[in-house]
Structure 1
């Protein structure tokens, strides 16, 4: 009788399909273990990194509703123009001289440029040799500059540069950020962070300690005075309409405060506007009863999470330093605030980030920016903020 033959069972460990399955499982397990080891190593590296993120005070983390504008233009780039394309590298602040019909802006290459308002011709005016940030027009045609590297500078109408101050109380300025001038001639300005310079500003926000200062400089005496210290990235600064207080912005706190320079409340500080819809940068008065505040990025749940948990900020700082921090900045633009600190309108766009300055000149809104190579201009009459969610 013929010898019978039996086919191997499909489930037999010796079959090719079984071997392939076993190989796949081993490969997946190896991949999983490799990923876990990588994650553990990454967490260990983050843990031993020297960057020390601090917890915010409980009162700073108290939940408050974000201030919503009654009127919005969420498509700011729709209908906008680019002024000086390719000639204005990182135009951080903007100031207008109505007598000459020009705007001044400071660029990342050290140049302060002049742009004629009627035909947008760009002129290389003065190079500070640093990084000009905040600008303020003096009452005799001079220009004051908060240079992030060199301190407070004065530039005459003829383009001559005079260094005024770069330290206070024996501590040099880390990021001289914004400046405004009172009718008395006294300058008020901010040192955003005495610890971090401008290229490293993100570490100030992620560390969560208040290294900012509000100061004054009196040209008559040459004295630099610290008005307020322990500020969270002290940024834009502007005189009030009647010159009785100075408004200054604290970027990570999403608020602007005011310091009273005369009157019954002289020397005191209170909140001008809190819980803005994003991170404020510079602030400008338009002469028509409104302040315009540049919003560098919209408030997000991710930012709230980072503020509440120092370890999250430590991880972000590690990524910023060694790899690439995920970009969550969006919906930058401008908000309009009345004389009492009430939010009137908001202009923004999902494609915008790092807007630094918003200034209204005649019927146009002009926006400065840290990363663009032009100034954005929008005709407010043609593209206004409206009560509806669309323009």
Structure 2
């Protein structure tokens, strides 16, 4: 086995499976298959018919794309909202007839003709939207009926104006420019469509109406329960769809200058094929402008290529129908299996061999020998708080702790019987410390770094950072801010335990042990946030050393304490100070004698230690076994140890059997007592330290006496 260990380590370090899972989980990964289909179409038809991509061929395709692409975007809006509009071909024909009749027959100005055409499109969309959104009729059947209705109106009106439309000639330079002039080899209509596409991209991806459309399509009842006006959203979506079709019809009228009985006929099939080929799902909630345009280009290349190859119209329609069936099949299969692919590849354990350690069991000797020294811990706020992961003590001796409910609790000195909610932040609160001005700086899981002023005002300091240019993972959002400390110059260094998982998924990060964490620095002097250290294995507790140049931090799953120099001649260097701990280190804080208190949240076991060297086994475990049966660290019993700055362990404090204070995630020394928190506890502990300086306090040690 020893011979294969280096190969296993290299395989899981340099060929991690989680990259595949990360890519599949991105929204833009939906464009991979359509983009590949586009490349294939370009290569095939470009080699068979090179004339398609000459200057004239590109000009012709660009003109068609200006109209066809807008209709595809319009249909995408409706499909993202969970509906469908089969009447777009009839609306297109009716609007094209309207603009040409207004210009060629009645001689209206272009602005009036365009407004009238948009009005016709809005009226058609309002009919569909009212029937589907307000009366809740089936979208497929309703738009199938309105397809026939709008087409019938078109065919009844067309014979009365067809001749006059052909013979008429509007006196409008703008109209002529839209139809026949170009800029940089592309028609003006192409640029108009491109501008509208950008606008709709912003609406769908960056605005409240766009989010409402996606929410309604993803889960209509949930959207309604969330307060979204579902009926109004659907009504406006259909109106917007038909108005976009009207714009496309205006551009078509400028290019063709006439209409016929076949105008818009069968367009719904072609556009539906393009939209589904682009990756917009039939089920709603998923789609984009880019997907619609990619699908539009594919369909236009396919239809134009077949036409130039001499394929008759019926055969071309048959081929397009087959493509539509294939696209629908791929869409259904992709939606069904995408999450399975993500689940099977996202969790990617790494190879990690923990350093050997001394036994910490009953009957063993040495500094880690189990004892009952914490059995005498007093309790503060028993039953008044849930999950006090960290504690802090102010200059007056008042005790603070966070909770899993997003509240900052405070117990007033000297007897700690008076309890109050000091502040409400809203997220699970973890590491906390006081700055020079007695502001309480807090790490909030899923929210970032916050500050609570003495006046109880909650201020967000930072919740994002510049995304790494070479990272597949989107590490711009701070997911799991864990613990913090403040340097003498005011800079706040805090750990983000994992850039992949949230606080609720910490066991998955443990199973990976890949080095998903980092150390971040927030500088209040200029408001900047930057990553100073990457690829750490669940970095947790942080304490700044008095030298103002370095800090100690714990790597929980690696069972070690490290030192990092953020300033000075050794800036950027990392050194392992203490390795092979018998448990998983959580927070670390200063002691009155110049040493440091380290909390072990749980103890190691031989089975889990061995599993850490079997990444394949851990991966199979996550895929085949329910999470309740996974291997977990033992976090039922922990302890507190004291170490020197150089990593020498001086003593350990235990509660044998976990009778009084079993869970330990943090501890702060203040005036001869150790105040203890635990993320699974329902109280704060207070333990008298034998021989400790009864006048020492952390705020004074950090910032000195108040003037």
Category of TM-score, reference length = shorter chain: 0.7 to 0.9
Residues in 2 aligned to 1:161 and 1:230: alpha-carbon distance in whole angstroms: 31
Cα distance change on mapping 1:79 and 1:310 into 2, 3 Å: same
Residue 87 of structure 1: how far off its partner (Å): 0.7
**CA shift for structure 1 position 72:** 4.7
Q: Residues 148 and 174 of structure 1 are in contact (CA less than 8 Å); yes or no, is this contact kept in structure 2?
A: yes
Give CA deviations for 1:225-277 in whole Å, capped at 9, x if unaligned: 11111111111111113322111111000111111123321221111221112
1:283 matched residue in structure 2 = 588
Query: Can you give the 5+ residue segments of structure 2 that lack an aligned partner in the other structure?
Result: 1-339, 361-365, 468-475, 692-707
**Aligned equivalent of 1:125, options 418, 422, 444:** 422
Residue 378 of structure 1 deviates from its aligned partner by: 2.3
Is structure 2 residue 447 aligned with structure 1 residue 150?
Answer: yes
Report the counterpart of residue 614 of structure 2 in structure 1.
309
Correspondence for 1:107: 403
Mapped contact 1:177–1:190 kept (Cα < 8 A) = yes
SS in 2 for 1:313: helix
Deviation at 1:81, TM superposition (A): 2.0
Give the counterpart of 2:571 among 259, 266, 269: 266
Runs of 4+ in structure 1 over 3 Å off: 48-53, 62-69, 314-331
Name the structure 2 match of 1:342.
648
User: Where does residue 356 of structure 1 map in the other structure?
Assistant: 665
For residues 331 and 62 of structure 1, do their structure 2 counterparts lie closer, same or farther at Cα, with a shift above 3 Å needed? closer
Shift of 1:63: 4.4
Q: Structure 1 pair 272/227, CA: closer, same or farther in 2 (3 Å)?
A: same
Checking the alignment, whether the CA contact within 8 Å between 1:241 and 1:287 is kept in structure 2 is no
Q: Which moved more, 1:359-368 or 1:101-110?
A: 359-368
Q: Which residue of 1 aligns with 2:350?
A: 55
Whole-Å Cα distance in 2 between the matches of residues 126 and 266 of structure 1?
37
- Paired residues of 2:443 and 2:481 also in contact (CA < 8 A): yes
For 1:152 and 1:338, the matched residues in 2 are separated by: 29
| C-alpha contact 1:72 1:345 (8 A) present in aligned 2 | no
Q: Is the counterpart of residue 197 in structure 1 residue 502 in structure 2?
A: yes
**Matched-pair contact (CA < 8 Å) for 1:295–1:332:** yes
TM-score by length of structure 2 reads: 0.45
SS of structure 1 residue aligned to 2:610? helix
My pick for the range that moved more, 256-265 or 199-208, is: 256-265
- Asked if structure 2 preserves the Cα contact closer than 8 Å seen for 1:67 and 1:276, the reply is no
- Summarize the Cα distance change of 1:62–1:375 in structure 2 as closer, same or farther, 3 Å threshold: closer
Contact 2:355/2:580 (CA < 8 Å) preserved in 1?
A: no
Shift of the 347–317 alpha-carbon distance from structure 1 to 2, 3 Å rule, reads farther
Does structure 1 residue 163 correspond to structure 2 residue 453?
Answer: no
Distance 1:354-1:315 versus aligned 2 partners, 3 A rule: farther
- Paired position in structure 2 for 1:89: 386
Q: Which has the higher helix share?
A: 2
Structure 1 stretches lacking a partner, 5+ long: 1-44, 383-391
CA shift, 1:211, in A, is 0.8
- 1:368 and 2:681 matched: no
What secondary structure, in the 3-state scheme, does the structure 2 residue paired with 1:302 have? helix
In 2 relative to 1, CA 361–377 (structure 1 residues): closer, same or farther, beyond 3 Å?
same
Aligned partners of 1:76 and 1:378 also within 8 Å: no
Q: Distance in 1 between matches of 2:635 and 2:411?
A: 29
Q: 2: CA distance between counterparts of 1:324 and 1:278?
A: 21
Which one is further off, 201-210 or 261-270? Answer: 261-270
* Structure index of larger Rg: 2
Q: What is the CA–CA distance in structure 1 between the aligned matches of 2:623 and 2:368, rounded to whole Å?
A: 39
Alignment of 1:14-53 (within 5 A): 49-50=344-345, 52-53=347-348
For residues 687 and 514 of structure 2, what CA distance do their matches in structure 1 show? Answer: 37
Query: Contact 2:586/2:598 (CA < 8 Å) preserved in 1?
Result: yes
1:257 aligns with 2:549: no
Report the counterpart of residue 64 of structure 1 in structure 2: 356
Aligned mates of 2:370, 2:628 — CA distance in 1: 35
Q: 1:77 to 1:315 in 2, by over 3 A?
A: farther
- Tell whether the 8 Å contact from 2:598 to 2:640 is kept in structure 1 after alignment: yes
- From 219, 239, 244, give the equivalent of 2:549: 244
Higher relative contact order, structure no. (Cα contacts within 8 Å, ≥ 6 residues apart): 1
> Of the candidates 380, 383, 387, which is equivalent to residue 689 of structure 2?
380
Assess, with a 3 A threshold, how the Cα gap between structure 1 residues 362 and 73 changes in structure 2: closer, same or farther.
farther
Determine which of 519, 529, 532 is the counterpart of 1:214.
Answer: 519
**Further displaced range: 248-257 or 308-317:** 308-317
Aligned to 2:275: none
- Separation in 1, partners of 2:594, 2:630: 40
Shift of 1:184: 0.6
Tell me by how many angstroms 1:123 deviates.
1.8
Alpha-carbon shift at residue 118 of structure 1 (Å): 1.9
Shift of 1:222: 1.1
> 156-165 or 235-244, which moves further after superposition?
235-244
How big is each residue's C-alpha offset from its partner over 1:296-352, in whole Å with a ceiling of 9 and x where there is no partner?
Answer: 101221221121112443365468854444664343021111122211111123326
The farther-off stretch of 359-368 and 277-286 is 359-368
RMSD: 2.4
